[in-house]
Amino acid sequence: MSGNDPAADARLMGLALAVGARNLGLTWPNPSVGAVVADAAGRIAATGVTQVGGRPHAERVALEAAGAAVRGGTLYVTLEPCSHHGRTPPCVDAVLASGLARVVVALTDPDPRVSGRGARHLAERGVAVETGLLAEAAARDHRGHVKRVTRGLPAVTLKLARTRDGYAAAAGPRLMITGEEAQGRVHLMRMHADAVLVGAGTAAADDPLLTVRLPGLAGRSPVRVVLDSRLSLAPAARLVATAREVPTWIVAAEGAPVEPERALVAAGVEVMRVGADAAGRVDAGEALRLLAARGITRVFCEGGPRLANALAEADLVDEVALLTGPATLGLEGLSAVGPALARAIPERFRRIDARPAGPDLIETYERSA
């Protein structure tokens, strides 16, 4: 790497990725970028992460924190610095003004306003630029941003819990499948999403809050989104009752009645409408495109097997988190993995992680095709 230490470069880019991951879920519509400034001797001078709401960008935060130590040093950044004027001047201007000698970029920004231009702008003005270090990891962290700017859709992660014999639910009371440690991991996943998504059936059956309930992290709760074709969610539901505390959006079909919408809006819920599919249900693709247009980049779907299967059937899924508990149901129930998802996982996904959480197992699959 141009006479530099590859191991040190990889270590510092790994730190930039870890720093950037901290604010996942807080920066939409912008990506949560991480940045590390090393001085001319290779010592860490500062770190930075994109701030809440997307401004200021990570590069500016890190450069300001580093001060004079930045001159002649290296900036490690997980996404190509922006080169266009938005609400703030482009980050490449701040890089050039700082006196940095070198910039190492993990991932080229696919946003057509930036793509390759930021790196070229720096190189043309004498800054050494290297791109592609830990690009696979950066692409994973910035999956939502990439999908939104290239396809107009947010990245979708499905979370499904199943018994050891493969069921998500049985007739009768709600089935508690996983233990406290696994549930804590789910709250961490939820915390790093821009929006958590369920269908009207799950909202009615479970009456969930869908907030982050980890000590000190209640403020990290994402936007709560319900796909509710007919606006059937009851005003007494906890999602409605807490809508003024945590943003709550309902996406209904265009033909849904107006009267329940008035009651929901009066309670603080925001109601949006999209087209319906042949069965009269909210068109999932249209709903996700609407969320992307509103700035959502990362959706965490906890809507259960039916919604998960519908999203898989429409080829809208990017990641699957499958939690398996130690107990068996021992009778016929609702399969956690529906037929479309069961076909999709071996065809279009690869398992990238499998780890225990107490007595439970959490497997993570990401899209590979």
Phi, psi (degrees; rounded to nearest 5) at 210: 60, 30
**Tokens at 16, concatenated:** 């930039």
Phi, psi (degrees; rounded to nearest 5) at 45: -100, -35
Instruction: Give the whole-angstrom CA distance, residue 58 versus residue 35.
Output: 6
**Tokens at 325, concatenated:** 């508990």
Instruction: Give the whole-angstrom CA distance, residue 317 versus residue 22.
Output: 23
Q: Which of 59, 80, 302, 319 is catalytic?
A: 59
Lay out the sheet containing 298-301: strands in order across: 270-274, 248-253, 223-227, 195-199, 298-301, 155-162, 319-324, 360-367, 349-357
Please name every residue paired with 251 in a beta bridge, in sequence order, or none if there are none: 227, 272
Please indicate whether residue 347 is annotated as part of the active site. no
Q: Using an 8 Å Cβ cutoff, are 51 and 87 in contact?
A: no
| Catalytic residue annotation | 59
